[in-house]
Structure 1
């Protein structure tokens, strides 16, 4: 690996670590606020219940309608979008949010390696889409982008559109992906994706309830944040010793049996 590529990957890992720490700090602040509200509840129960109800709406309420899994979704409750060969010896389980900067940092560091390994049939990736940032900051960009990605899966274009969403990710506080028009515009970067069927799927929110169900599974798993990237049950996104080269070495060793 060239020194330039090494520096770029090291920078991406540093960004990933920084974003995860920021996410943890935000979660600590949120918990502190909840504790404060609980104390106030002793004095003004009715008022606090009203405030909590209002805040719940702003965080992104669950979607109405049937749970419609995208084409080819697999795993428990069909919540995983698979990429790669079914018979691969190694499986990477990724929980991600398209508004999450730490997810983008992971992408920057590992994308080329993951593409290489899935392309060679040595690695299978199972993507689980969640809406964590919608809950933390408000808005609906995480949900809308995840639904659009599921629509891309229906069209057989998930991997390419997945990459486009991260390449064009807005700032975490900018809920630009709440716009279906923006998501459809980005589909134009993937040959053959911007079709009437895709546009209808995005605008109708066909997979909204499926995204909510995926997010509920994420919460039930008690994961610490996004990205959560599991290999053999271990979250490699939190492993400071992990590198793309090390991941490749581990997967290739498993492929040899």
Structure 2
């Protein structure tokens, strides 16, 4: 059956509307953020709940000329604190492949640094590998194992920040050892054994063991998890710099 010119135009308009509807769905998907729970990938709309609050939060500026000493611990955790400061304690459980962890670093990372520099908190980073499926599992493990190859605290923090800056998509293999070595050099790492440590993934087994231990002991349900003196902080506090600062200040009294 032959369509008239009017019918063909109507059909074309309908197809355009259908395509526009498909594009709107794709755009909504693009604007989602994936966060990880143990063994499960969950999706949350950027405009909802705590992510909405995070998008409206004002990140702090870096405190001029001051950074708290950073010390890499034997177990792979990293302490950032001024001398003699042992409380309140902010524990940050993070996965370098986790997009929500990158968002936390973007929004509240400077607040962690400032609180430590001001002597108002002892910040402890716990890089863990929480993903269970490839390619995210391998990405996460390579990055965290490489971070263990950095013994200098200041260099470790710079490397930490570069990992988030260069975080790959969850759908592709990323954090290649060659890139990790390059970012280490960018972070100022000059130790002679760094490249070999990264390319051989020398600390991969230790990282896996540490992750399993921390996830079990601390009952970590997802990343990022921020604890203040051992108690989980709600996301709407962890992702809101002023509220985060207020909670830490209150805990110090």
Give the TM-score category using the shorter length. 0.5 to 0.7
2:236 is matched with which residue: 234, 240, 245? Answer: 240
Q: Give yes or no for contact 1:94–1:127 (8 Å, CA) kept in 2.
A: yes
Q: Give yes or no for contact 1:88–1:122 (8 Å, CA) kept in 2.
A: no
Structure 1 segments unaligned to the other structure (5+ residues):
1-14, 30-70
Shift in Å, 1:164: 0.9
Q: Give yes or no for contact 2:91–2:226 (8 Å, CA) kept in 1.
A: yes
Q: Give yes or no for contact 2:37–2:223 (8 Å, CA) kept in 1.
A: no
Alignment of 1:89-108 (within 5 A): 89-108=87-106
TM-score computed with the length of structure 1 as normaliser: 0.65
2:96 aligned counterpart, secondary structure: coil
The change in CA–CA distance for 1:207 and 1:247 in structure 2 (over 3 A counts) is same
1:19 is matched with which residue: 19, 34, 37? Answer: 34
Structure 2 segments unaligned to the other structure (5+ residues):
1-29, 43-70
Q: Give yes or no for contact 1:92–1:230 (8 Å, CA) kept in 2.
A: yes
Alignment of 1:57-206 (within 5 A): 72-73=72-73, 78-85=75-82, 87-133=85-131, 135-138=132-135, 139-154=137-152, 156-177=154-175, 179-191=176-188, 193-206=189-202
Alignment of 1:35-54 (within 5 A): none
The change in CA–CA distance for 1:194 and 1:184 in structure 2 (over 3 A counts) is farther
Shift in Å, 1:156: 4.9
Which consecutive aligned stretches of 4+ in structure 1 deviate over 6 angstroms post-superposition? none
1:223 aligned counterpart, secondary structure: coil
Shift in Å, 1:155: 6.5
Structure whose CA Rg is larger: 2
The change in CA–CA distance for 1:235 and 1:185 in structure 2 (over 3 A counts) is same
TM-score computed with the length of structure 2 as normaliser: 0.66
CA separation in 1, counterparts of 2:76 and 2:178? 25
* Deviation string, structure 1 residues 195-253 (Cα, Å, up to 9, x no partner): 432112212323222211211113313321111111133322x4325521011122234
Q: Which has the higher helix share?
A: 1
CA separation in 1, counterparts of 2:141 and 2:179? 14
2:90 aligned counterpart, secondary structure: strand
Say which is worse superposed, 104-113 or 227-236, in terms of deviation: 227-236
Shift in Å, 1:90: 1.3
Shift in Å, 1:28: 7.4
- Paired residues in the alignment total 191
CA separation in 2, counterparts of 1:194 and 1:167? 21
The change in CA–CA distance for 1:250 and 1:240 in structure 2 (over 3 A counts) is closer
* Deviation string, structure 1 residues 140-193 (Cα, Å, up to 9, x no partner): 11111111111123575111111111111111222211x2111011123213x1
